[in-house]
Amino acid sequence: MGIKFELFHQEKDTSARLGKLTTRHGEIETPIFMPVGTQATVKSLTPEELKEIGAQIILANTYHLYLRPGSKLIAAAGGLHQFMHWDRPLLTDSGGFQIFSLSELNQITEEGVYFKSHIDGSRHFISPEKSMEIQMELGSDIVMAFDECPPYPSDYNYVDKSLELTLRWAKRSKEAMTAEDQALFGIIQGGIYPELRQKSVEAMVEIGFPGYAIGGLSVGEEKELMYQVLDFTTPLLPTAQPRYLMGVGTPEDLIEGVLRGIDLFDCVMPTRIARHGAVYTSRGRITVRNAEYERDFTPLDEQCNCYVCRNYSRGYIRHLLNRKEILGIRLTTYHNLHFFLALMHQVRLAIKRDQLLEFRKEFYRNYRI
Amino acid sequence: MGIKFELFHQEKDTSARLGKLTTRHGEIETPIFMPVGTQATVKSLTPEELKEIGAQIILANTYHLYLRPGSKLIAAAGGLHQFMHWDRPLLTDSGGFQIFSLSELNQITEEGVYFKSHIDGSRHFISPEKSMEIQMELGSDIVMAFDECPPYPSDYNYVDKSLELTLRWAKRSKEAMTAEDQALFGIIQGGIYPELRQKSVEAMVEIGFPGYAIGGLSVGEEKELMYQVLDFTTPLLPTAQPRYLMGVGTPEDLIEGVLRGIDLFDCVMPTRIARHGAVYTSRGRITVRNAEYERDFTPLDEQCNCYVCRNYSRGYIRHLLNRKEILGIRLTTYHNLHFFLALMHQVRLAIKRDQLLEFRKEFYRNYRI
């Protein structure tokens, strides 16, 4: 199925677990955070920099790459790895989430989705088969099944109906994914409804995938509600396969997710807020472009020893951001991703020692949400 | 005077010369090209990347840094080197050129220049003494005298009068520059008029500076005219001091300038055109964002072995540029500066072998202007 997943350790008092995912492009230690490279680039950084800060796998967006430059062009370039000069594992989403959140939807049918591009209004149709075709052209190591993503909030009956469609699409995705070196993950939907999450898990496991994603979270619901959904959903999932919580989240979400048994995360947050001049520090998030940092010649985070914190001050980075200098965005992006990846490294160490709850306590001693 | 200049070799058949400039921040091989870091950053690149492509000295703009973030703030940060994390030599201009080209001029008096900021319309006054004060706060290794920059074309009488003012300002600049580890260069003006260039050189040399810049060129005149001005100006300059041709130029201008005895160059061209999607190659300049490169999976320049050309294709870089992805600008900027610095490296090797004329011939065999 393209990947191998090994579990090394399961914490005694929590659902946190330590594992290793092996793909044809190398190994991934889990739990892990995946930086997002929407348009075949993790915004502002080179692959070498991503490796320097410990990125083991990155994510790219099928919807964006299908529209521009086109998956056929990327296939002609030798696939996405070759196109973007990234030789480590790559995960692509199915395009579903972006079709439902970015494009102008025309019609959802049994066959697939008709939509207009958010860029030029051009008309497109994507089905499970088409999504698999695109992802095979991209050549990612982990491929996501095509799903419908109902908006939040949606009522029980709508989510139930949508879930059924997603299940039929998951079966078709599996049939259509014929590349032996690409691993297809199923996506659990069901909104905030325990029975629907259970129904989704059972049916997806029956279809059988080498990994399962939890979709439809971090879409506007309260954090506590998201954690509750994880509380009742992850225990239903088989332990032998990796679990991926899609589009989540903040540092606290990562810790809470790992405690509930999640292995993979992705989120645009660290790269997006970096472009708006905000950075994560061991004391919480700060907006370094604010006037209060004008004459602050200390590093972004005194506790951090990344390239940025070793060499640049808040005052300098503020100057760059306010002058709209590209280097400013590079430095905040680099630091934020380093923060997330270093956090996950610490989380893995803590799990190894059965100390993740202590780690969480220690983390919140300084960190203000 | 803060610097030492040694000449190792003078070509037999041309005015090209090989030298070494020593500053408290290290040595510079001449002739050399200086990347421009207007706002305390060479746009999009880190200091480490600049070193990787062979930058030995960079330039920063006094006018911009005086306005934002302010030279006093930079002094408080420990000076410009510390502020921007660059430990090699730095040259700052006097602010004159930008006051005359960017700001809204109010009045030029014997004392100095009254102008309004091009950013917020705030009122400012800069004199030779003020320019020296700012440049001392910045702490650059090479400092430029404050000069008036007449527009092109200007008539003989105007240029003559302006020249006299620039000479009086040069004397005052010299008196005001009291930092022993900063070397002040005088600027030769005189427009396109041989007698005025001669007058300027003689008076500047009489004042006495550890280096001389040729100003007022590459401001709209024909290339041939610029080369003519160099033809009659550089032979008048003392051979023992370095000569800096300000704001010049293209690859061909560098070669022509070196042949006429120039040691230092700076220009925003390679970084500016990079941001517009144009790159230099051994066959000439190409606009890689054009549609013709969409499916071109060869490097920017087949003859180049820089980081960019080793790892990325024209098609990928075009995709990034068209998606306004920062990495696109980083890659074109890196490549263009590498092109300029590698060219100057080749030029120095050619001078060493007394083969610069042959080198020029060979260069133009492929390179189309």
pLDDT in tens, B95-104: 999 998 888 8
CB contact under 8 A, B313 and A83: yes
Whether the per-residue pLDDT at B29 is higher than 90: the answer is yes
Check if A93 is active-site: yes
Give ipTM to 2 decimals: 0.98
| Predicted local confidence at residue B157, as pLDDT | 97
Residue B17 pLDDT > 70, yes or no? yes
- Residues A78, B40: C-beta atoms closer than 8 Å: no
Nearest CA in chain B to A37: B325
> Out of A93, A160, A253, A263, which one is annotated catalytic?
A93
Q: Is residue B97 a contact partner of residue B61, using CB atoms and an 8 Å limit?
A: no
Report the half-sphere exposure of B25 (CA within 13 A, side-chain side): 21
Distance CA B43, CA B47 (A): 11
User: Which residue in B36, B42, B45, B46 has the most chain A C-beta atoms within 10 A of its own C-beta, making it the best mutation to test that interface?
Assistant: B46
Contact at CB, A315 and B41, closer than 8 angstroms: no
Structure token pair of residue B213:
């810049």
Instruction: Give how far A221 is from chain B: nearest CA, Å.
Output: 31
- Please, are residues B220 and B179 in contact by the beta-carbon 8 Å criterion? no
Which phi and psi angles does B329 have, rounded to 5°? -65, -40
* Pair A184, A210: CB distance under 8 Å: yes
State the count of interchain CB pairs (< 8 A) between A and B. Answer: 92
* Contact of B29 with B237, CB cutoff 8 Å: no
Q: How much is the pLDDT for A1?
A: 60
Q: What is the pLDDT of residue A103?
A: 85
Quote the pLDDT of residue B176: 98
Probe site for chain B from A44, A46, A65, A332 (most B CB atoms < 10 A)? A46
d(CA A58, CA A55): 7
Residue B361 CA to residue B139 CA, distance in Å, equals 41
- A147, A160, A266, A301: the active-site residue: A266
**Of residues A158 and B105, which shows the higher confidence score?**
A158
For the segment B250-266, the average pLDDT, to the nearest whole number, is 98
Could you write out the DSSP letters of every residue in B173-210? HHHH---TTSEEEEEE--TT-HHHHHHHHHHHHHH--S
Is B319 within 8 Å of A39 when comparing Cβ atoms? Answer: yes
Q: Which residues of B touch A44 (CB under 8 A)?
A: 325-327, 330
Q: What's the pLDDT band for B275 if we cut at 50, 70, 90? A: very high
Of A69, A77, A329, the CB nearest to B326: A329
CA B42 – CA A325 distance, rounded (Å): 9
Active-site residue set of B: 93, 266
Distance from the Cα of A109 to chain B's closest Cα (Å) equals 31
Inter-chain contact B330–A329, Cβ cutoff 8 Å? no
Nearest neighbour of A327 by CB, restricted to B44, B78, B322 = B44
Residues of B in contact with A83 (CB under 8 A): 313, 315-316
pLDDT at B116: 95
pTM (predicted TM-score): 0.98
B125 contacts: CB under 8 Å, gap ≥ 6: B112, B113, B114, B115
Give the model's pLDDT for residue B369: 84
Which residues on chain A are in Cβ contact (under 8 Å) with B329?
326
Residue type, A14: T
Q: Which residues of B touch A311 (CB under 8 A)?
A: 85
| CA-to-CA separations, B9 to B263, B347, B350, in angstroms, rounded | 12, 13, 11
pLDDT at B104: 87
For residue B310, what pLDDT is reported? 98
Q: Provide residues of B within 8 Å CB-CB of chain A.
A: 39-41, 43-46, 68-69, 73, 76-78, 83-85, 294-295, 297, 311-313, 315-316, 319-320, 322-323, 325-327, 329-330
Q: Which residues of A touch B (CB under 8 A)?
A: 39-41, 43-46, 68-69, 73, 76-78, 83-85, 294-295, 297, 311-313, 315-316, 319-320, 322-323, 325-327, 329-330
CA dihedral angle for residue A180, residue A63, residue A227, residue A337, rounded to 10 degrees: 90
What's the start-to-end Cα distance of chain B, in Å? 40
Task: With beta carbons under 8 A apart, name residues in chain B contacting A329.
Answer: 326
**Is B77 in contact with A297 (Cβ distance < 8 A)?**
yes
Terminal C-alpha separation, chain A: 40
Q: How confident is the model at residue B1 (pLDDT cuts 50, 70, 90)?
A: low
Task: Indicate yes or no: CB of B40 within 8 angstroms of CB of A319.
Answer: yes
Chain B residues with CB-CB distance to A327 below 8 A: 41, 43-46
Option in B39, B46, B319 nearest A323 (CB) = B39
The low-confidence residues of chain A, meaning pLDDT below 50, are: none
Whole-number Å distance between alpha carbons of A182 and A184? 6
**Pairwise CA distance, residues B92 & B132, whole Å:** 10
CA A363 – CA A350 distance, rounded (Å): 12
